[in-house]
A = this chain, B = another copy of it.
Amino acid sequence: MTADVSPPARPATLEDVAAVAGVSRATVSRVINGATTVDPALRRVVEEAVATTGYVPNRAARSLVTRRTDSIALVVSERERRPVSEPFIGRMFSDPHFGRVVGGLMDVLRPAGIQMVLMLADDEASRNQLLSYLRQGHVDGVVLISSHADDPLPGLLHDTRLPAVLAGRPRKPSPLTYVEADQRAGAQMAADHLAALGRRRIGTITGPQDMPAGQVRLTGFLDALEQHGIGDVATAEGGFTHSGGASAMRQLLRERPDLDAVFVASDLMALGALPVLLRAGRDVPGDVAVVGFDDSNAAVACDPPLTTVRQPVEEMASEMARLLLKQIGRPGLPEPSVVFHPTLVRRESA
């Protein structure tokens, strides 16, 4: 494809291009950066020189002077892993949800030529390391995915004055822009649907109660059920994991064998709960109706396919990226947060 007449031991620099094109470095720089004040003829010459030299700008040099990096950090903030013995788990990373977020971000970052640096904050030390990294301006902005409600990071992040967007509204009100789905409304949809189905002996498998999504989906569900006159709801915590969903389901079945419906606060947990139900001889949705949350692809793969509350995760992530880019474009002007509305996707499980 490319003629390799002379193996370029040293990558071409602006200087090289300028020499080939017979212009000054400044002119080449202008062409590279799309300045309008360049003679069309010269521009063509420069462009050719760029092509023949195979020139690609050196980011470090550029960044040094522009103080921009064309990269953002994707910060995953997790609660400290309890036993040090335990190998790295990264609940977040192994959750398919994470992949959807990455995908949604990439969709807008890539066309913009912005790189994504993956960073993890899971204890005091890593948080400090992260902050000093951010403060030094190694990235232009940050997207924060936080897994726990009392995460100090949003506050600390705000102090850095760096453009930032949060996935989900932080518990402590914060001036930072966030993007979230209306969790409460979603939980309410699940409750309304179950009630409309005539189910009354209802249980729910919740997420961790130290996570906002875990809390709100539970309270939203209970409140909505109460409005339907249903009060005695069995709950079990499933930790937003697959196996947690399974054991929570077992617990629920033990406590309320007469259950006729269960709202599972994430599809991943529902994936764990469903087989438990089936193995316990319950027909779904005949005996027990099941509603999930997320509309992940697990929902379609389930047998029976899961009725679930859909969060447009990819679109939300893309929106985060867009908001971040905007903020980077005009610093100091925080973008308003945006709330997405979930929808109920009816499949076969309820």
Which applies to chain A's interface (DSSP): helix, strand, loop or mixed?
Answer: helix
CB pair A104–B88 under 8 Å, yes or no, is yes
Instruction: Scan A56-67; emit 1 where CB is below 8 A from any B CB, else 0.
Output: 111111011000
- A94 x B87 contact (CB < 8 A): no
Q: Report which of B64, B69, B135, B246 forms a contact with A11, defined as CB distance below 8 A.
A: B135
Q: How far is the CB of A259 from chain B (nearest CB, A)?
A: 17
Given the known inter-chain contacts A95-B99, A96-B94, please indicate yes or no for A275 contacting B246, CB distance below 8 A: no
In the complex, the count of this chain's copies comes to 2
**0/1 per residue, A112-131, Cβ < 8 Å to B?**
00011111100000100000
Q: A117-B117, A119-B115 are in contact. Are A58 and B278 (CB under 8 A)?
A: no
Quick check: is A106 within 8 A (CB to CB) of the other chain? yes
Residues of B within 8 Å of A74, CB to CB, are 118
A88-B106, A241-B297, A303-B279 known; A11 vs B136 contact (CB < 8 Å): yes
Known: A95-B99, A98-B99. A135 touches B314 (CB 8 A): no
Contacts of A118 in B (CB 8 A): 74, 102, 106, 115-118
Residues from chain B with a CB closer than 8 A to the CB of A242 are 297-298, 301
A26-74 contacts to B (CB < 8 Å): 56-61, 63-64, 69, 71, 74
